[in-house]
């Protein structure tokens, strides 16, 4: 519905604009929801480290771990905090820098055609109920504007390089809430209608 969106910005999300984006290739359809997990410092929740990282304002000297990612310029379209707060960093019409080298359904360069969604969390740990609720609503909202054909984890599109969101993410729970099924060709989930 038109009222949910202001261009590529979801109205109900808190905006925290990132400079780390560029244009998608001309004529590229946005068709994938790509799920990650992140926390800064790792395993610590509720702080502003991720927002500072995505907006190039992280104090690299504030924590020893930050030295290992010093100078990194990355972003995602959205982050879902543990309490369910939804933050948007990049317009969904633009290309956020979240996937790196990646392939889905034999098509490389997932950043070109995906929406990057970070869940506040750590690989291997579980995620909170409000995060699933918000994630289901977010994917549903995305489908009102974009031809989303699947939802996958970073681990599915960058196998061997990335492991997030990891075994703590409940794909069956997420799929049941969306009414989606397992995607046998690429891991993750796909709408039931796409399998017909």
Question: 196 pLDDT exceeds 70?
Answer: no
pLDDT of residue 1: 45
Q: Report, at the CATH architecture level, how domain 2-195 is classified.
A: 3-Layer(aba) Sandwich (3.40)
d(CA 108, CA 113): 10
Residue numbers annotated as active site: 118
pLDDT category at 193 given cuts 50, 70, 90 is confident
Give tens-digit pLDDT for 35-73.
999 999 999 999 999 999 999 999 999 999 999 999 999
Question: 12 pLDDT exceeds 70?
Answer: yes
Give tens-digit pLDDT for 75-112.
999 999 999 999 999 999 999 999 999 999 999 999 99
Which sequence spans correspond to the domains of the chain? 2-195
Whole-model pTM? 0.97
Give tens-digit pLDDT for 135-189.
999 999 999 999 999 999 999 999 999 999 999 999 999 999 999 999 998 799 9
């Amino acid at each position: 519905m038109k009222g949910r969106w202001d261009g590529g910005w979801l109205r109900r999300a808190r905006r925290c604009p990132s400079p780390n984006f560029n244009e998608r290739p001309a004529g590229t359809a946005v068709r994938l929801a790509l799920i990650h997990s992140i926390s800064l410092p790792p395993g610590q929740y509720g702080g502003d480290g991720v927002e500072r990282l995505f907006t190039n304002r992280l104090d690299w000297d504030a924590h020893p771990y930050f030295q290992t990612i010093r100078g990194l310029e990355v972003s995602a379209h959205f982050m879902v905090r543990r309490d369910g707060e939804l933050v948007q960093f990049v317009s969904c019409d633009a290309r956020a820098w979240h996937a790196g080298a990646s392939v889905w359904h034999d098509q490389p360069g997932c950043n070109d055609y995906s929406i990057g969604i970070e869940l506040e969390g750590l690989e291997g740990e579980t995620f909170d109920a409000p995060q699933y609720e918000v994630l289901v609503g977010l994917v549903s909202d995305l489908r009102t504007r974009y031809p989303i054909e699947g939802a996958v984890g970073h681990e599915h599109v960058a196998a061997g390089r990335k492991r997030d969101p990891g075994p703590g993410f409940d794909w069956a729970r997420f799929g049941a809430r969306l009414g989606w099924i397992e995607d046998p060709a690429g891991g993750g989930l796909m709408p039931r209608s796409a399998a017909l």
